Structure 1
Amino acid sequence: MDDEGHLERFHDRPEPAVPGLAARCDRLGSSVVRDILRLTTRKDVISFCGGLPAPEVLPAVEGASLPRDAGQYGATEGETPLREWVAQHLTRLGRPCRAEQVLITSGAQQGLDLCARLLLDEGTGMVCEAPTYLAALQVFRLFGARLQPVAVTPEGIDLERLWRQLDRPETRAAYLVPTFQNPGAHCYPEANRRSAADAIDASGRVLIEDGAYAELSYEGTQATPVCGYLRRAPWLYLGSFSKILMPGLRLGYMVADERLVPHLVRLKQAADLHSSRVGQYLLLDWLERNDYDQQLRWARTVYRERRDLMAAGLDRHFGDAARWSLPGGGLFFWVALDGGLDTGVLLDAALDANVAYTPGAAFFPTEDAPVHWLRLNFSHPSPRAIETGLARLASVYESAVARSKHANSLLSD
Structure 2
Amino acid sequence: MFSQRIEGLRPSPIRAILDVIDRPGMISFAGGLPATDTLPQLSGVVPASTLQYGPTEGEPELRAAVSRQLRGLGVDAPPDRVMILSGSQQGIDLAAKLFVDPGTPTAVEYPTYLAALQVFRFYGARFVDLADPDSARTALAYVVPTFANPTGACASDAERDRLAARCLRDGTVLFEDDPYRDLVYDTCDRTPIAARMGGSSWIYQGSFSKTFAPGLRLGFIAASDDLFDRLVMVKQATDLHTSRLSQHIVLDAVTDPGWGARLDRLADFYRSRRDVFDDALTRHFGDLATWETPRGGLFFWLHLTRNVDTRGLLDAAIERGVAFMPGEEFSPDRPSIGTMRLNFSHADTDQTDRGLGILADLLRS
**TM-score interval w.r.t. the shorter chain?**
over 0.9
Aligned residue among 49, 58, 69 for 2:49: 69
Aligned to 1:327: 294
State the alpha-carbon separation in 1 of the partners of residues 40 and 229 from structure 2: 34
Contact 1:179-1:214 within 8 A present in 2 as well: yes
1:106 partnered with 2:72: no
Is 1:212 matched up with 2:179? yes
Matches within 5 A, 1:129-208: 129-150=109-130, 158=131, 161=132, 163-165=133-135, 167-168=136-137, 171-208=138-175
Matches within 5 A, 1:7-18: none
> Which of 182, 199, 202 pairs up with 1:235?
202
Where does residue 358 of structure 2 map in the other structure? 392
Deviation at 1:370, TM superposition (A): 2.1
Matched residue SS, 1:60: coil
Report the counterpart of residue 98 of structure 2 in structure 1: 118
User: Is contact 1:52-1:380 (8 Å) kept?
Assistant: yes
Deviation at 1:220, TM superposition (A): 3.1
Give the aligned residue type for 2:259: Y
Amino acid at match of 2:35: A
Q: CA deviation at 1:54?
A: 0.6
What are the Cα deviations for residues 114-135 of structure 1, in whole angstroms up to 9, with x where unaligned? 0001111111010000000000
Greater CA radius of gyration, 1 or 2?
A: 1
| CA displacement 1:229-248 (0-9 Å, x = unmatched) | 11332000010000000111
Please list the CA deviations of residues 338-385 of structure 1 after superposition, one character each: whole Å capped at 9, or x if unmatched.
22211000112212221110001110011x312200100001111211
Letter of the 2:345 partner, please give it.
S
Measured on the aligned residues, the alpha-carbon RMSD in Å equals: 1.2
User: Aligned partner of 2:360: which letter?
Assistant: A
Kindly provide the CA deviation profile for residues 379-399 of structure 1, in whole angstroms up to 9, marking residues without a partner as x: 111121111111111111111
> How far apart are 1:199 and its partner, in Å?
0.7
Which of residues 16, 20, 23 is equivalent to 1:35? 16
Give the percent of matched residue pairs that are identical in Structure 1 and Structure 2.
Answer: 44
CA offset digits 1:158-187 (Å, max 9, x no partner):
3xx2x433x33xx21100111111000111
Q: Specify which of 32, 36, 39 is matched with residue 58 of structure 1.
A: 39
Note the residue ranges of structure 2 that are not aligned, 5 or more in a row: none
**C-alpha displacement at 1:113, in angstroms?**
0.4
Look up the equivalent residue of 1:54 and give its one-letter code: A
Matched residue of 1:209: which SS?
A: strand
User: How many angstroms does 1:221 deviate by?
Assistant: 3.0
Cα distance in 1 for residues equivalent to 2:303 and 2:48: 53
Q: Is the 8 A contact 1:341 1:372 kept in 2?
A: yes
Question: Deviating runs (4+, > 6 A) in structure 1?
Answer: none
- Confirm or deny: 8 A CA contact 2:146 2:155 kept in the other structure: yes
Instruction: State the shift of 1:290 in Å.
Output: 4.7
Q: Normalization by structure 2: what TM-score?
A: 0.97
Indicate the residue corresponding to 1:354 in structure 2: 321
CA distance in 2, matches of 1:323, 1:377: 16
Could you report, residue by residue, the CA deviation over 1:204-238 in whole angstroms, capped at 9, with x for unpaired residues? 11000000111211013351111111133200001
1:276 and 2:275 aligned? no
Aligned to 1:9: none
Task: Give the counterpart letter for 2:254 in structure 1.
Answer: L
CA distance in 2, matches of 1:283, 1:206: 29
Verify: 1:22 aligned to 2:3, yes or no: yes
CA–CA distance in structure 2, aligned partners of residues 73 and 349 of structure 1: 47
Q: In the TM superposition, what whole-angstrom CA distance separates every residue of 1:31-80 from its partner, at most 9, and x where no partner exists?
A: 111111212321121110000111111121111x4332111111000000
Report SS of the residue matched to 1:272.
coil
**CA–CA separation in structure 2 for the residues paired with 1:203 and 1:99:** 28
Q: What TM-score, normalized to structure 1?
A: 0.86
Instruction: Name 1:155's counterpart in structure 2.
Output: none
Mapped partners of 1:356, 1:207: distance in 2: 34
Deviation (angstroms), 1:271:
0.3
Q: Is the 8 A contact 2:309 2:328 kept in 1?
A: no
- Listed one character per residue, the Cα deviations across residues 250-302 of structure 1 (whole Å, up to 9, x for unaligned) are 01000010111111111111000000011111111223335221111111111
Q: Which runs of 5 or more residues in structure 1 are unaligned?
A: 1-19, 151-157, 400-413
